[in-house]
Every structure is written in structure tokens, then in C-alpha cells.
Amino acid sequence: DVVLTQTPPTSSATIGQSVSISCRSSQSLLDSDGNTYLYWYLQRPSQSPQLLIYLVSKLGSGVPNRFSGSGSGTDFTLKISGVEAEDLGVYYCVQGTHDPYTFGAGTKLELK
């Protein structure tokens, strides 16, 4: 199975600070159809995960544009430009290129 390694495991930020989360894959996530099936989700405390980013860099419906995704191949980044209090929680990267879908271990975003 594809292993997704997220760093850092925990990130502390102040409101308004920009943060980046890395997701590195054990295999290229570029599919033969030309798409890269890499997603980002946020799970707030005691809530279900919610979609932030799909296909590396496309913003999910209703997701604020302070979130952005980038990367290719095996290296991907989620950036939050100006953290807000509602952004706290655990961020997961997920790949759907290779069967089975796999999730990263998560990055917990805390308030400093």
C-alpha cells in the first residue's frame, strides 16, 4: 500500500500566521489518466472530516481561499495563509491513485 508521510506531526500557530503541512508519498501519485488523486481533509475536534482540497490544488466547495494545495509526483503541500481559530484540528492527506485509498497519519494544528 502507498504510505503517506505527513510532517510535522504537530504544528503550533498564532492567529494570522501562515503554516504549511507536507505530505510525502512512497510512490508517485500521478495516474495514467494524467490526474493526481491527492486530497486534503480537516477533522475538527469531535467532528467528521471535511474536504478542503481535491486533485492536489482544487478548492472544495465553500472552502476559504486561505487554503491552497500544491505539489506533484510524491511531494505535496497544504498551506494556510492566515490561520483562523476555526482551522484548528487534524489535517490529513489522502491518495486515491493507487488501490487502496490511504491516509496520512495526520498533522495536528494547535494554537500557540
Partner 1 sequence: EVKLQQSGDELVRPGASVKMSCKASGYTFTDYAMHWVKQSPGQGLEWIGTIIPLIDTTSYNQKFKGKATLTADKSSNTAYMELSRLTSEDSAVYYCARELTTEGMDAWGQGASVTVSS
User: Which residues contact partner 1 (rule: CB under 8 A)?
Assistant: 35, 37, 39, 41, 48-51, 53-55, 58, 60-61, 92, 94, 96, 99-103, 105-106
| Closer by beta carbon to partner 1, 19 or else 91 | 91
Rounded to whole angstroms, how far apart are CA atoms 86 and 72?
Answer: 28
Which region holds residue 85: left if phi is over 0, alpha if psi is between -120 and 50, else beta?
A: alpha
CB of 3 to partner 1, least distance (A): 12
CB of 100 to partner 1, least distance (A): 4
Q: How far is CA 12 from the centre of its chain?
A: 16
